[in-house]
Chains A and B, each alone.
Chain A
């Protein structure tokens, strides 16, 4: 057994397996992350130091300040309300998905993710014609509820739709890891179902709750496209603005740079502070897990109460999430056919796809190695702080992020004039954490001894990854890729903030609605939904086949 004689002369593999190359590659990945993701994301903060005087001018204008104040306050109020609603209705749903067995569970499981396949621009329009009182030239179908005339309420309803899946998924993921035997043990000791769930399982999933809250708040705080569309579609939105829509509206005016910078800085700083407070609060605040009320909890654990809980949470899913998401299909069916100019839309759709594709590929190449370092580097302080930093672009509202990015790259000679590169860079910044988080989560679950054993069996680090770790985490890579792709495809705020007249599909739809071409907008939304759905299914199918 002469092992050396069997070693192949694959010089390329040899070369990239040397320690030097590996350290170099690691440094490259980390530098990419710091330089291309983190730094541009918070670059706008430098404005405070370089151009404080113009910010002072903004702060000196009371009218402007009250507009900004109202918009930002509205943003955070909406985010908070939406998150609370998501927790209340998401928790029972997560419970049903993980702990209950019933026929058709698989379909329910897929239904939850459906809104993720719908770009928020389409969602905004669909929700608005379903809920909102609209003007007659929108031609909303007569059977839509159509009674909401408060812009604030409409935006809350809209944000619940696309943040709900994030909450359910985060809670379900943690719930799945909590051993049901704890609860069984509690029940064997005499606790009712509700008491056991509340006092034993609930305190164990604070972590999932934090993730869910952060994702929901961040999604709500950054959403721009859907919000702008919903506001434009409803009959009388007044002067209602959120932080991101303000950025979206002001971006096209070059005189408003200090105002934009100010709003972006506020959004970024408040979000980061909120994140820190949330992290501390959720871990410190005690849930009332010590007390039990046996009598009432017994009543609530039996008979009609659990049934009511399950049926209301299912009903909520349909009435408040699914129907508003897909209501747009009825709109196009009901209205008579109108001819429209399609060339521009196909161009923008194509452009969006290219961008989302390039972004996803970049995310995977740069994000998967980062995820490995984050998941396997618990010993190192540097890696631990990277782990925290990865979350930053996730929390920063994308409109602010886009503005910050535009400032950063605009200063770099040569880059600033390429819209395509700017948009790709912006999209990479906010989708990169999705890939890293997904993959790092999966890698953390896998015992490092698999790769280590592979190494001792003679595999180079790259071979150990490709042959051992990759097959185990490929579904998470795929999940991350799908999230990144659909997020990029549907993103409006960051795109608008970085390039005012970008030609992506969601931006095109916003333009259509602003110019009251509702029918064409509706059709464009449907095409966007179908195309991204087909693409998701296709991606799943291809990856499954190639591996099997």
Chain B
């Protein structure tokens, strides 16, 4: 089975760069999530992989074989679109057998493929149903079975869980990944949902405006983001602008209002302007001690296991924090709080040339 190599792929629609020099290597059998906001070029990337969108520039390899100019049907990469595109005039059984039929598989082999696929996705009892008679989850499983029956070795999933209701979406995450893994498929899964990507991916590639910003395991992307955008898109962050004061052990950032904030060491020069990012979940608030900052509680939202607390920081605008729900009742609107974090969990980045606002903007 092949890994996938993508070299400097470019594709524009007028002024919009849907792919602006994408380089990416997806390992054999890997479950790769492409994570990015709407309009980042995720779907274009997927369509380029399966050959539905011709490239302006660049090369794509499946294993050692270049497939850049190959027709979609010759690539062995099946695309599963958001709506599954189950053929409405065919039953579940005929949908699944679409690929084998096209390839002229013998009847006994078809029979075998069909029963094993129906078994795999637990749809044996519904094999004569039409797609419109199935629930969302069943449709999704049928589409998956159809893809697998075609004998593909690359599975391309375009927001595969989007059309399902919330609970089903979460339970299908594991099922989908287990299935792909057990069959040894190389899977590229496109999503805008960071939770989904974190849970499912072997590695995540964060994409924005047609460029890959960072590739890494979920933990790497979450804990060591390479830019403010990644820090904010994969788990919300609080940001503080300032100048680098010192970089011994920890980097110290002086904010405009004079507060000194600590973060993991960087090599940005002392005196430079920079921005510090710390995940909302790593931002601690307490009544006692001395924090990096002080603020007043403005709003408290109950989220089940966590409380989402918005605070107005003296001289630094608004920030958020997440605290365990058992602290409910111990925090009230108007309370004064000390704000601190583990410096190892905070990152300092140079100020992006287009400004922090634009960097963080998600359309």
Contact = CB atoms under 8 A, between A and B. Distances in A.
Interface of A: 1-3, 6-8, 10, 17, 19, 447, 449-450, 452-460, 463, 467-468, 471-472
A457 B156 CA distance: 11
Interface residues of B, number: 34
Contacts of A458: 73, 76, 99, 102-103, 150-151
Contacts of A467: 87, 98, 101-102
Interface string B144-163: 00110011110010000000
A459 B102 contact: yes
Interface in B47-89: 47, 50-52, 71-73, 75-81, 83, 85, 87-89
Nearest to B101: A467
Contacts of B83: 447, 449
Contacts of A17: 71
A2 B151 contact: yes
Nearest to B103: A6
A457 B147 contact: yes
Nearest to A6: B103
B258 interface: no
B104 A8 contact: yes
Contacts of B98: 454, 457, 459, 467
Contact of B72 (A6, A19, A449, A456): A456
Interface string B128-158: 0000000000000000001100111100100
B272 interface: no
B104 A457 contact: no
A463 B98 CA distance: 11
B105 interface: yes
A467 B73 CA distance: 14
A19 to B, nearest CB: 8
A456 B104 contact: no
Nearest to B78: A456
A467 to B, nearest CB: 7
B79 A452 contact: yes
B99 A453 contact: no
Contacts of B51: 455-456
20 contacts: A2-B151, A3-B103, A3-B152, A7-B103, A7-B104, A447-B83, A447-B85, A449-B85, A450-B87, A452-B81, A453-B78, A453-B79, A455-B73, A456-B50, A457-B73, A457-B146, A458-B73, A458-B150, A459-B98, A460-B73
Contacts of B151: 1-3, 6, 458
A127 B137 CA distance: 59
Max chain B C-beta neighbours (<10 A), residue from A10, A453, A459: A453
A460 B51 CA distance: 13
Nearest to B69: A19
B103 A8 contact: yes
A454 to B, nearest CB: 7
B156 A472 contact: no
B89 A455 contact: no
B52 A455 contact: yes
A459 B87 CA distance: 13
A3 B146 CA distance: 14
Given A3-B152, A456-B79, A457-B150, A471 B103 contact: no
A22 to B, nearest CB: 10
A3 B104 contact: no
A7 B74 CA distance: 10
- 8 closest residue pairs by CB, A with B: A8-B104, A3-B151, A455-B72, A453-B85, A1-B151, A6-B103, A456-B79, A449-B81
Given A454-B98, A457-B102, A472 B150 contact: no
Most buried by B among A17, A458, A463: A458
B72 A1 contact: no
Interface string B94-117: 000011111111000000000000
Contacts of A450: 85, 87
B294 to A, nearest CB: 50
Contacts of B102: 457-460, 463, 467
Nearest to B74: A458
A7 B103 CA distance: 5
A453 B95 CA distance: 11
Interface string B272-294: 00000000000000000000000
A266 B171 CA distance: 70
Given A450-B85, A452-B52, A453-B78, 10 more contacts: A1-B151, A1-B153, A447-B83, A449-B83, A452-B79, A455-B72, A456-B52, A459-B73, A459-B102, A467-B101
A191 B65 CA distance: 65
Interface in B206-249: none
A456 B87 contact: no
Nearest to B104: A8
A473 to B, nearest CB: 11
A61 B98 CA distance: 70
A547 to B, nearest CB: 9
B179 to A, nearest CB: 14
A50 to B, nearest CB: 44
Given A1-B151, A7-B104, A472-B88, A457 B99 contact: yes
A59 to B, nearest CB: 50
Given A3-B103, A6-B105, A456 B89 contact: no
